[in-house]
């Protein structure tokens, strides 16, 4: 690989508090050689390939902490190839993949398979998760130590919650010794039974079983109480309500250490968007009120929420073309993650730097991976985008194998122009 120099970019890298116009020089090993306004001509070799990207912004390649790839078992929904295409078109270069495949990733042979398969088929950095409990059934913990040794980044039962408090306390206790990351989905099953939407006037009108945000809050409260006894690396996958945020605030001020994520959907949509039974907006946790949405934005501003995820869940049309209560849960979103997040900048909800932080260095720190940064010597994973470019989301143009986007026809501003992985241009528009 020859050296590259990307010129005239506005570079935003929260990991080194950088927001300046300058150049990025990538060495022939695909690492950042020099970056910023102070790059010197002497740093550039004569054979270097020069790409002028004036008017665009460069950020570290996005780290998406929650995406589902259909392999193995659900190849008809998504595979490594299609997920890669969607991710790179969205500026995402590192993906934490969920273990709720078929079979479930809860043992070392599955890990070997998924890592080999990903290496061969995915042209993106993959960080696989294993389940916390066997078969995600919430009864018995998986082999954290062995799985970690084989390359598992963290543990998650995805959209399932450990209900058993004793087991949860043991998981935390055991995990703390191995320094593994436990990612919990917060939902009390007794309270959320057969629900498919936020408990609200909307649920009453649509005649659907609602779930109160107490179902989320109560698990967060429980887990954070346990965490004060058994400190481990604990992450709340996605929160959705103001009430949960208050619990997080209280615990953070008491010095409890943990991290929190939010789905871009809960930041950009609310329960009214469901309209007359739009099943693509059936999500978990559900979309809640506008008040909740605004409080989540405040949560990001106040550093109570660390990470924004796509919660990319590809579902085929058949699983969604059902009465609302029966329809599958989730929407795709990895390709639109950045553009939809930029909407929060354009409508003055969040500063740009904060959004980028939640998409890059924050998740990288939680995962303890050397990504999400453009510091000298790090991998040249880059997302380059045009902040102003207007476009309209059309499902048929999205690269994901499944087309269940929650934001069909949404007018967005800001689109990825180029994505680099280890210094190579892997997507360009």
- Write out the binding residues for other proteins, residues 291-330 only, by CB under 8 A: 318, 321-326
- Contact flag: residue 199 with other proteins (CB under 8 A): yes
CB nearer other proteins, residue 213 or residue 343: 213
Q: Contact 428/418 with Cβ under 8 angstroms?
A: yes
Length of the chain: 429
Tokens of 32: 């950042």
- Contact flag: residue 205 with other proteins (CB under 8 A): yes
Pick from 210, 363, 372, 414 the residue near other proteins by CB under 8 A. Answer: 210
Determine the interface stretch with other proteins among 23-31, 85-93, 196-204, 265-273 (rule: CB under 8 A): 196-204
Q: Contact 420/377 with Cβ under 8 angstroms?
A: no
Distance, in Å, from the CA atom of 25 to the CA atom of 279, rounded to the nearest integer, reads 46
Distance, in Å, from the CA atom of 344 to the CA atom of 374, rounded to the nearest integer, reads 24
Applying CB under 8 A, what is the total number of residues that bind other proteins? 22
Binding mask 229-268 for other proteins (x = CB under 8 A): ----------------------------------------
CA angle (336 as vertex; 334, 338 as ends), nearest 5: 95
- Contact flag: residue 204 with other proteins (CB under 8 A): yes
- Contact flag: residue 218 with other proteins (CB under 8 A): no
Tell me which of 213, 311, 379, 386 is the catalytic residue: 311
Nearest Cα residue to 407 out of 312, 290, 301, 289:
312
- Contact flag: residue 208 with other proteins (CB under 8 A): yes
- Contact flag: residue 272 with other proteins (CB under 8 A): no
CB nearer other proteins, residue 200 or residue 331: 200
- Contact flag: residue 201 with other proteins (CB under 8 A): yes
Taking CA atoms, 40 is separated from 44, 45, 375, in Å, by 7, 11, 16
- Contact flag: residue 409 with other proteins (CB under 8 A): no
Q: Closest distance between other proteins and the C-beta of residue 275, in Å? A: 10
Question: Beta strands of 27-122 (E only): which ranges?
Answer: 32-36, 49-52, 57-60, 62-67, 92-97
Q: Closest distance between other proteins and the C-beta of residue 249, in Å? A: 25
CB nearer other proteins, residue 166 or residue 276: 276
First to last CA, the chain: 22
Q: Closest distance between other proteins and the C-beta of residue 32, in Å? A: 51
Pairing between strand 307-309 and 259-263?
parallel
Q: Contact 12/352 with Cβ under 8 angstroms?
A: yes
Which run of H or of E encompasses 126? Answer: strand 125-130
What are the residue numbers of the active site? 311
Q: What are the residues binding other proteins (CB under 8 A)?
A: 193-194, 199-201, 203-208, 210, 212, 276-277, 318, 321-326
């Amino acid at each position: 690989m020859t050296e590259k120099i990307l010129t005239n970019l506005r570079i935003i890298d929260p990991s080194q508090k950088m927001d300046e116009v300058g150049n990025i020089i990538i060495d022939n090993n695909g690492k950042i050689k020099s970056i910023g306004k102070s790059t010197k001509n002497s740093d550039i070799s004569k054979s270097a390939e020069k790409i002028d990207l004036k008017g665009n912004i460069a950020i570290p390649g996005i780290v998406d902490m929650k995406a589902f790839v259909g392999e193995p078992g659900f190849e008809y929904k998504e595979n490594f190839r299609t997920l890669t295409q969607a991710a790179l078109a969205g500026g995402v270069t590192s993906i934490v993949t969920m273990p709720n495949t078929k079979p479930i990733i809860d043992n070392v042979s599955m890990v070997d398979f998924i890592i080999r398969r990903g290496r061969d088929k995915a042209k993106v950095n993959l960080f696989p998760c294993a389940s916390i409990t066997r078969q995600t059934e919430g009864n018995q913990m998986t082999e954290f130590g062995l799985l970690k040794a084989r390359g598992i980044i963290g543990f998650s039962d995805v959209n399932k919650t450990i209900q058993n408090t004793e087991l949860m306390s043991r998981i935390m206790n055991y995990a703390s010794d191995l320094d593994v990351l436990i990612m919990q989905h917060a939902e009390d099953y007794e309270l959320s039974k057969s629900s498919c939407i936020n408990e609200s006037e909307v649920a009453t009108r649509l005649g659907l079983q609602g779930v109160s945000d107490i179902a989320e809050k109560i698990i967060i409260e429980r887990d954070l109480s346990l965490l004060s006894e058994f400190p481990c690396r604990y992450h709340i996958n996605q929160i959705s309500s103001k009430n949960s945020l208050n619990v997080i605030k209280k615990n953070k001020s008491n010095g409890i250490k943990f991290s929190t994520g939010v789905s871009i959907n809960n930041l950009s949509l609310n329960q009214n968007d469901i309209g007359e039974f739009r099943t693509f907006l059936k999500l978990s946790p559900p979309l809640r009120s506008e008040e909740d949405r605004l409080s989540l934005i405040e949560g990001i501003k106040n550093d109570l929420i660390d990470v924004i995820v796509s919660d990319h869940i590809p579902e085929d049309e058949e699983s969604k073309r059902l009465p609302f209560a029966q329809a599958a849960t989730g929407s795709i979103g990895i390709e639109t993650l950045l553009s939809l997040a930029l909407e929060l900048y354009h409508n003055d909800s969040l500063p740009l730097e904060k959004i980028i932080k939640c998409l890059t260095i924050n998740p990288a720190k939680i995962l303890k991976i050397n990504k999400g940064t453009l510091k000298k010597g790090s991998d040249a994973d880059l997302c380059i985008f045009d902040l102003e470019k207007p476009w309209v989301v059309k499902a048929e143009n999205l690269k994901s194998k499944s087309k269940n986007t929650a934001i069909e026809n949404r007018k967005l501003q800001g689109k990825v122009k180029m994505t680099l992985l280890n210094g190579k241009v892997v997507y360009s528009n």
